[in-house]
Structure formats: structure tokens, C-alpha cells
Structure 1
Amino acid sequence: MIRKHDPGKDAVFTGHQYRDGDNNLKQNYESAAKCYAKAVGLGNAEGMYNLSLLHQQGLGVKKDIQTAIQLLKQAAAQSPTMSDECFIPNVGVAEAEHALGLHYETGVGVEMTYHKAAKWYQRASDHGSATAANNLGLMYGDGRGVEKDLVKSEQLLHLSAVRG
């Protein structure tokens, strides 16, 4: 199978190199943000997720939690797979869903709502996130945002451990 060239993925890859200072590139968050923004313009969920992280931390861009949350919601609205014919994960979707769960669980940038946190963790877990499965398992164990269910809690915590 021949992989088609994807400018969005290329922009994300270059953004990672600038963010991390890899491949003989000096670490430069502003350049990373520009690369991620290019990927966002091309509809790339991973670019949306990574640009949101920079906005949350104020690295290379102005710190802006609301912009970060908008980017996370934009990424989470993407299809969780690359196409209907294959089940290759669309990188950035589950990560964004998990991050939205964290925002709702902690009340950072949004009203703290355990029910919404559980919803986002469930979506992220359904899309392969081990950390979201863990967080949702803990919520079921405590009965936060969901009805307490120790069996479901144990199942989710096991799933998280299996996924690593």
C-alpha cells in the first residue's frame, strides 16, 4: 500500500522537531506553534491538539486557555479513524478528548462538571486512550459524575493497564 503525502502530518512532524529541538533544529516554540497552526489550517487533529498544549502553557504563543479548549474541541470533533475503510487511529482525537475530560474534571477554563469529564473520558477510552480508561475507572470507583460501579471501575482500570 502506498501512503499518500500528507502536508498536515508533515507540518506536525516539523512542529515536533522544533518543540523538542530534534534533528539539528534548535528548540523553538514559536516555530513549533507556526507549524502546528499550519496543520490546524489543513484540518489535522494532531496539530490542533499540540497547538492547544502550547496555548495552555504559553510556549511560543500567548497563554490562552480558552483558545486551547477551542482547539481541543475542534480536534475531538474529527473522525477517530483516518477513514471508514480502515481503523488506523486519527492521532490527536483521543488525546484531545482525554484533555477535555481533564479540563472538566479540574475546572480549568471550564466549569467543573464531573458528568462532562466522564463523557469525554469515555469517548477517549473508546478511541484507545489508556489514561482516559484509568481516569474513568477511578470516577466509577468513586461515583463521581457516574453511578458508582466497582465492577465497571475494575474493568476500566484493567483495560488501562493492558493498554499501557
Structure 2
Amino acid sequence: MDLKKAFFWYQKVVESGNAEAMFILAIFYENGKGIEMNLKKALFWYQKAAASGHADAMKAVESGNAKAMFILAIFYENGKGIEMNLEKAFFWCQKSAESGYAVAMNNLASLYRIGKGTEIDLEKTFFWCQKTAESGNAIAMFNLALAAESGDTDAMNDLALFYENGEGTEMDLEKAFYWHRFLKMY
């Protein structure tokens, strides 16, 4: 069997949106059969196949690759290459965040804050913002600071402790003191 020709024809079939062909392209890229191995492209095609409902591809995504899950969430959120589905976007973002992917944690906090794909839940917004900040994500620290500045006493306390202990940011006793003092006013 001429693998290069097979690859060529699977690429043609993919253009029609065939999930099985997407899955097979992913295998080609993953194994480097007939083409040069390219794990990034393999992941892309596994995700496209999973988003198109291919059961084996969905298992590949669910196997625990947090970044793959997050990329799939973004595909669903933006309707990029697949039909937009905010509930599925939320689902995959949450799975990715629970697997420890900081970018997904931050995005999940935003989804809870604005109720995109789920109900608005400010407690969970704060929880995920805090988890992201603990991982050292600068955007999450900014979001936490916004919450603190808007009067959220839990956020004020956490910011004070983060600055005091150097968690998720550089230790800054002046900022820690500021947030402790500000918290006492509430």
C-alpha cells in the first residue's frame, strides 16, 4: 500500500468534514507513516475528529491531555471548524482546568463570571481565579486584584497572603500590608 497516496486521499475526504478521515489523518501524523511525524498536527486532527463526534477520537482527547482538552473547548466556544456549542466548551474547559492547565483555569473563571456555557457562579469564579493565581498565572493575579478592588473581602485577603508569602507572585510586603489594611476597613 502506498501510504503517501493514502494520506493524500484522506486529506481530500477530510475536506468534506468526514470524522473518520480526520481520525485517520491524526494517526498518520502521530505515527509518521507515509509522512513526517507531527504530534501538533496529530493533536489538531484528533480534536477535530472528536469535535465531529468520532468516538475513538473523543477517547484520545479524554485520555488526560489537558492542553488538548482546552483547545477543544476553544473550538467549541468560537465555532472554529466546528459548530459552536457553549455547553461543550464549558465541559472541556472544566476538564482541562481540573487536570491542572492554568490557562484553562483562568478561562473557566471567566466562563463562570459571565455565565457562558453555564450558570453565573461568582463563588466558583473566585475559586478558579484563586487556583490560577496560585499557579503563578499573571492574568489571574490581575483578575483577583480587580475582584479585591471591587470590594470582595475574600479576594483582598487572598491577595494580601499571596503578596506576603510570595505565592503566585513575587513577595511584596508593602502590597501585602496595603491589602491587610484595606481589608480591616471592611
Q: Do residues 117 (structure 1) and 89 (structure 2) align?
A: yes
Which has the higher relative contact order, 1 or 2, with Cα contacts under 8 A spaced 6 or more apart? Answer: 1
Q: Which moved more, 1:68-77 or 1:98-107?
A: 68-77
Contact 1:52-1:69 within 8 A present in 2 as well: no
Residue 101 of structure 1: SS of its match in structure 2? helix
d(CA) in 2 for partners of 1:158, 1:100: 24
Long gaps (5+) in structure 2? 1-25, 51-56, 137-186
**Secondary structure in 2 aligned to 1:148?**
coil
Alpha-carbon deviation of 1:146? 0.6
Q: Which runs of 4+ in 1 moved over 4 A?
A: 33-36
Match status 1:105 vs 2:77: yes
- In structure 1, C-alpha distance between the alignment counterparts of 2:46 and 2:125, rounded to whole Å: 33
Residue 30 of structure 2 corresponds to which residue in structure 1?
Answer: 37
Q: Work out the CA distance in 2 between the residues paired with 1:132 and 1:117.
A: 11
The equivalent of 2:110 in structure 1 is 138
Aligned residue for 1:76?
A: 61
Change (3 A) 1:114 1:34: closer
Per residue, is there more helix in 1 or in 2? 2
The verdict on how the C-alpha distance between 1:153 and 1:51 changes in structure 2, with shifts beyond 3 A counting, is same
Residue of 117, 120, 135 corresponding to 1:163: 135
1:105-150 CA-to-partner distances (Å, cap 9, x unmatched) read 1110111111111100111011111111111110100011111011
Q: Which runs of 5+ in 1 are unaligned?
A: 1-32, 41-45, 56-65, 81-92
1:121–1:136: 8 Å Cα contact kept in structure 2? yes
Query: 2:89–2:117: 8 Å Cα contact kept in structure 1?
Result: yes
- Report sequence identity in percent: 32
Larger radius of gyration: 2
**Any idea what SS the aligned residue of 1:160 has?**
helix
TM-score (norm 2): 0.46
Corresponding residue to 2:121 among 141, 149, 152: 149
